[in-house]
């Protein structure tokens, strides 16, 4: 694993002029088991702060963005997301737990407007979903959440981010979350086979600020599940979902980050 990371950074650093900033942080996350669940979780987790920028590649709080091409405001990038594991409870009591999952795939991005700290863009990703219990990996289907995204930088470095758009998934993913096999049928839980289609409408807003030694951020995200294909699943208990998080990171000295970058090169 270490060799892969070293080779990855060495490649992009040799090919492009780059800048690397490192740090260590902690975040407090609030999230439901899944969209439509009436059981919520709260978890505090450490995370590495990585802010890497080159001509073709960016790694920051928004994830990994690999610039594949750019033509008159239209570009392609690698889109990555993930979800935390949850122990089955409530409507899923007695069913398999939901493992930690990663999502990766291409995204088309069209920059509609950029001026005076304001950026408006259309982001259309499609990602494969892969879950793991650390013993094996399972392909869980694919998701897409095209959205309109607005970034606004103001007051000497505050970054306000707003996104809104729908979420769609194939039947394989929907069955992983909402399907009920015959072995899990109870007096209050019927057998259910999920269809592909619309899962809900997402609206999120986030605010962050990077100081000389500290980066802080927060976000809140709301899903409306009205009209979702999964609404008739016995595992859906409510027609909305709310996520939220607070994050703070200590930024290492730039000399340290530069030494790490030189070591990787």
Assess whether pLDDT exceeds 70 at residue 11: no
pLDDT in tens, 75-129: 888 888 989 998 999 999 999 999 999 999 999 999 999 999 999 999 999 999 9
Q: Kindly write down the DSSP assignment for every residue of the chain, as one continuous string.
A: -HHHHHHHHHHHHHHS-EEEEEEEEEEEEEEESSTT-S-EEEEEEEEEEEEEEESSEEEETTEEEE--EEETTEEEEEEEEEE--B---GGGTTSPPBPEEEEEEEEEEEEEEEETTEEEEEEEE-EEEEEE-SS-EEEEEEEE--EEEEEEEETTTEEEEEEEEEEEE-HHHHHHHH-B-GGG-BTTB--B---SEEEEEEEEEEEEEE-SSEEEEEEEEEEE-TT-GGGGSTT---SEEEEEEEEEEEEPPHHHHHHHHHHH-
Report residue 138: phi and psi, to 5°: -130, 130
- Averaged pLDDT for residues 125-150: 97
pLDDT of residue 264: 64
- Averaged pLDDT for residues 15-30: 82
How many domains is the chain built from? 1
In terms of Cα–Cα distance, which of 136, 40, 54, 22 is closest to 89? 40
Report residue 218: phi and psi, to 5°: -155, 155
pLDDT in tens, 169-189: 999 999 999 999 999 999 999
- Look-up: residue for tokens 């619309």? 198
Model pTM score: 0.85
Structure tokens at 105: 């795939």
Q: The domain containing residue 39 runs over which residues?
A: 2-264
Between the alpha carbon of residue 180 and those of residues 7, 99, 147, 225, the distances in Å are 43, 17, 30, 19
Separation between Cα atoms, residue 194 and residue 172, nearest integer Å: 8
Report residue 12: phi and psi, to 5°: -70, -30
pLDDT category of residue 28 using cuts at 50, 70 and 90: very high
pLDDT category of residue 61 using cuts at 50, 70 and 90: low
Burial of 182 (0-12, 13-18, 19+ CB in 10 A): exposed
Residues 6+ apart with CB under 8 A from 255: none
Assess whether pLDDT exceeds 60 at residue 17: no
Q: What is the CATH number of the domain that holds 207?
A: 2.40.230
pLDDT category of residue 36 using cuts at 50, 70 and 90: very high
pLDDT of residue 63: 62
């Amino acid at each position: 694993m270490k060799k892969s990371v070293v080779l990855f950074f060495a490649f992009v650093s040799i090919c492009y002029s780059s800048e690397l900033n490192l740090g260590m942080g902690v975040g407090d996350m609030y999230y439901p088991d899944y969209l439509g669940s009436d059981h919520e979780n709260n978890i505090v987790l450490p995370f590495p702060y990585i802010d890497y920028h080159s001509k073709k590649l960016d790694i920051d709080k928004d994830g990994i963005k690999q610039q594949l091409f750019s033509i008159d405001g239209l570009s392609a990038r690698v889109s990555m997301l993930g979800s935390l594991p949850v122990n089955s409870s409530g409507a899923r009591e007695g069913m398999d737990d939901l493992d930690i999952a990663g999502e990766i795939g291409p995204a088309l991005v069209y920059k509609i407007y950029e001026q005076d700290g304001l950026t408006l863009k259309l982001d259309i990703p499609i990602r494969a979903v892969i879950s793991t219990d650390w013993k094996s990996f399972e392909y869980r289907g694919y998701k897409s959440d095209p959205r309109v995204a607005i970034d606004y930088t103001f007051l000497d470095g505050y970054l306000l981010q707003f996104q809104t758009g729908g979420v769609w998934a194939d039947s394989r993913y929907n069955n992983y979350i909402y399907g009920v096999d015959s072995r899990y049928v109870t007096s209050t839980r019927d057998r259910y086979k999920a269809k592909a289609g619309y899962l809900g409408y997402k609206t999120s807003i986030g605010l962050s600020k990077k100081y000389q030694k500290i980066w802080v951020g927060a976000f809140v995200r709301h899903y409306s599940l009205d009209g979702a294909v999964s609404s008739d699943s016995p595992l859906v208990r409510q027609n909305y979902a709310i996520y939220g998080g607070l994050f703070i990171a200590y930024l290492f000295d730039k000399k340290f980050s530069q030494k790490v970058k030189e070591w990787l090169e």
